[in-house]
Structure 1
């Protein structure tokens, strides 16, 4: 047995040989790249081993898939952009509609206020015309009744007493529906005058005339202007009981009353006198219309 047989060897272990793997990867367009991979393998002084791995080249099918994916992404983006435009258009339309509605409401309110102002102005004009027609100094109603033979003590009588003194004579002259109209206005002599009132105890001029005819089934217009053209125009020299007298122009009259015969009329004159019976000489009318 050798005397060195039990002595451990002092030789260094061999280093593993490097294994180099070359990977050839194909890419679209034919460009190749080589990747070298070093790995520990085998003895240290072993020859280096080179291994080449061919990677598959990207096919045209994959490229087509990429292209389709890009197209799909673009379509989604286009759809989102279109939706955003549609939303913006809807919002703009809603805003325009809201603005238009507000403008329409503003104009309607302005028209309403204008109409109300015109109505007030017309009412004031009519009232002023009635006041102006009676501002001149006239003989009191009792004096008027004395001119028609109502008695020597008529100076102390009232409009109501004047109506009483002539009621029987006037009634005898009226017949049929005319008599009913005359009787109605005679029954309201002494009532108050309130502009816009239509009874039963206060009237304006056209309200009393309208009510007198309504109770016999004849519907007259409400205002003096229309009542002055509601029938056939007649001469003041050819009046009959029940005829409608008017002051002012036909179609633009500012006052109406009822002729009751014997040169007398009854009407709601003004706030200071109320409903009175008076002579045509006291306040001569402009014209007359016959309804019955």
Structure 2
């Protein structure tokens, strides 16, 4: 045995032969297949007589689009309906608000009319009560003075007529002119002018034009000056109703048997005949 037999060879194994065989086998099989197909092809070919329909999705898309359009249209109708309902509700609310305001205005007008009517009725009732009170006061005073005073009153009244305002001059003229200028002004309890008066406030303001400062209230004014007979009056004299020192009403004699006074809230400041409501007494300041 050679001593070199166990020495392995350093040469790489040959792989080219096996790869070549594999390639040759594959190529041979492929060519065989072509050959068989070529031989059998002309004899076995048949025309295609059946059409295969592919499934379509157009109908599904159409149905979805129709459903979407219908939903959109329904939504638009719902929105339009809601808008109409909202507009109707707003219109109804405005109408209700207007009706309420009209009802409130009408109610206030009725209340004002009722208050005015009540005020007129109260003023008339007050005036009647004051007139009755003055009449009763005069009756009481006449009874207290006795029959001599009443028996002589007729002759004295006929012998002495009230002075005419045509002869007024000086301070009396100023007082009378001021009093007449206030005729038509309102009566307000505690009023001192310039457009609303109570009885003593008017008398005080009239005398102030002549530089005379009278007391503020009728009770004090009825004793300020000299007591004079109602049959011997002069323009500018202060007339009073009630007792001297306890008078409840005063006015200014302006001549010709008339006086100017702030009577009450129903009549305001007026010029009237003494026969309308004859006073109890009078005082002369000038």
Provide the TM-score with structure 2 as the length reference: 0.45
Higher RCO structure, 1 or 2 (CA under 8 Å, sep 6+): 2
Larger radius of gyration: 2
Provide the TM-score with structure 1 as the length reference: 0.44
**Higher share in strand:** 1
